[in-house]
Amino acid sequence: MTDDLLGRHRAVLPDWLALYYDEPLEITHGEGRHVWDAQGNRYLDFFGGILTTMTAHALPEVTKAVTEQAGRIIHSSTLYLNRPMVDLAERIAKLSGIPDARVFFTTSGTEANDTALLLATTYRRSNTLLAMRNSYHGRSFSAVGVTGNRGWSPTSLSPLQTLYVHGGVRTRGPFAHLDDYDFVAACVDDLKDLLGHTRPPAALIAEPIQGVGGFTSPPDGLYAAFREVLHERGVLWISDEVQTGWGRTGEHFWGWQAHARSGPPDMLTFAKGIGNGMSIGGVVARAEIMNCLDANSISTFGGTQITMAAGLANLTYLLEHDLQGNARRVGGLLIERLRAAAAHVPAVREVRGRGLMIGIELTKPGTDEADPAAASAVLEAARAGGLLIGKGGGHDTSALRIAPPLSLNVAEAEEGAAILEDALRSIQ
């Protein structure tokens, strides 16, 4: 990036619009699992535009679908019948696992979660919500109001009354010392106690794996146990699948399926990867919930023809090439390779994750104290080695986030792991 572009950025865009790197990077083009910057440097991309370039950069099937659709019509709004929107909605409804499902398209995960909160509070006639500590659900006023991560919550004002529940982080907090069975039992008891002190809330919104929170997750089955308690009280379960959906975890197509004992959620939200870079988000809900609104509504840019064409082509490619299976196989190799490398780095507290959704938490050696400076140093060193990764975490952004496109191959996984190992060793 030239100094001129950086200066122009700072002059016209908000100060709080974060940029990675001491010398910010301008990405000009990409192909497969690689991107190039304005100086011609090539990088292996292990962050995919914040988990959004899900299949590959410049995927020919998606590029072709977008080009052909752009030559016909780009947009008409939801006031007219829209064949690509209906086609994609039918496929997502079937894949969701939710019975009698209806799909509403938005332009982002934030807007999807905002819609889910509107539906839940209207359906239940309550503005009280349950959310997880260390969670992130978006940037809008209502989504910030259910975000349990101080670093991404710029205001305490909210239209919602939010109560935060234990369980999203397995290795921190008052129950961290327990085994998985007792951890789940303690979190359920805490939830029951909380519900005994408040009027029944509208819903629990939860990420099966917390994205911005540093790819943390509870033991499998926690949300199923929560669901049984909530169902007795008529409280809805919203699964935020903005980062976990579409097979990224390898073991499951949706993150909620790791907690499937009590069946699918009442609603799920999605975004990011389905568009492979195009702006698609949405909500899937049972018909009685989706149809509870008694006023007119539209989505001007949600479900527009060009994004739906991209989504259809991307989803078809994902399923036909079994990218969920690839995430399981290659992701399994990558996480074991990173665990082996991290064993020799005292600053690494934990390597965690599933499939191609891996977090590395850094602390000051010998302590549980977060070390955001170390995370920034590794981010810089990885870039210098030709690898792009992300950051996150609820403890001062001290976790590295690794989420390559799902078409990552073994050789690229080995290459990225080697660069990351060198970057980790460089902070010792």
Assign residue 399 the CATH number of its domain.
3.90.1150.10
Looking at the structure, tell me whether residues 364 and 299 fall in a common domain: no
Q: Which long-range contacts (CB under 8 A, 24 or more apart) does 334-338 make?
A: 334/358, 334/402, 334/408, 334/413, 334/416, 334/417, 337/413, 337/414, 337/417, 338/402, 338/417, 338/420, 338/421
Domain count, the chain: 2
Looking at the structure, tell me whether residues 93 and 144 fall in a common domain: yes
Among 50-64, 227-241, 387-401, 403-417, the range scoring the smallest mean pLDDT is 387-401
Q: How far is CA 191 from the centre of its chain?
A: 24
Three-state SS at 422: helix
Looking at the structure, tell me whether residues 315 and 334 fall in a common domain: no
Looking at the structure, tell me whether residues 98 and 133 fall in a common domain: yes
C-alpha span between 356 and 46 (Å, rounded): 9
Looking at the structure, tell me whether residues 311 and 191 fall in a common domain: yes
C-alpha span between 318 and 274 (Å, rounded): 9
Looking at the structure, tell me whether residues 316 and 326 fall in a common domain: no
Note the pLDDT tens digit of each residue in 194-220.
Answer: 999 998 999 999 999 999 999 999 999
Note the pLDDT tens digit of each residue in 4-16.
Answer: 999 999 999 999 9
Looking at the structure, tell me whether residues 55 and 85 fall in a common domain: no
| Nearest alpha-carbon partner for 294 in 57, 118, 99, 91 | 118
C-alpha span between 156 and 172 (Å, rounded): 24
Q: Identify the pLDDT of residue 159.
A: 87
User: In which domain, by residue range, is 357 found?
Assistant: 3-59+322-425
Out of 269, 293, 320, a domain closes at: 320
Strands 281-286 and 267-270, sheet pairing:
antiparallel
Looking at the structure, tell me whether residues 103 and 252 fall in a common domain: yes
C-alpha span between 289 and 287 (Å, rounded): 5
Looking at the structure, tell me whether residues 222 and 316 fall in a common domain: yes
Looking at the structure, tell me whether residues 309 and 185 fall in a common domain: yes
Out of 272, 289, 320, a domain closes at: 320
User: Within 13 Å, how many C-alpha atoms sit on residue 167's CB side?
Assistant: 31
Specify the DSSP element, H or E, that contains 319.
Answer: helix 305-320
Q: Identify the pLDDT of residue 153.
A: 85
Out of 320, 344, 374, a domain closes at: 320
Note the pLDDT tens digit of each residue in 272-301.
Answer: 999 999 999 999 999 999 999 999 999 999
Looking at the structure, tell me whether residues 185 and 44 fall in a common domain: no
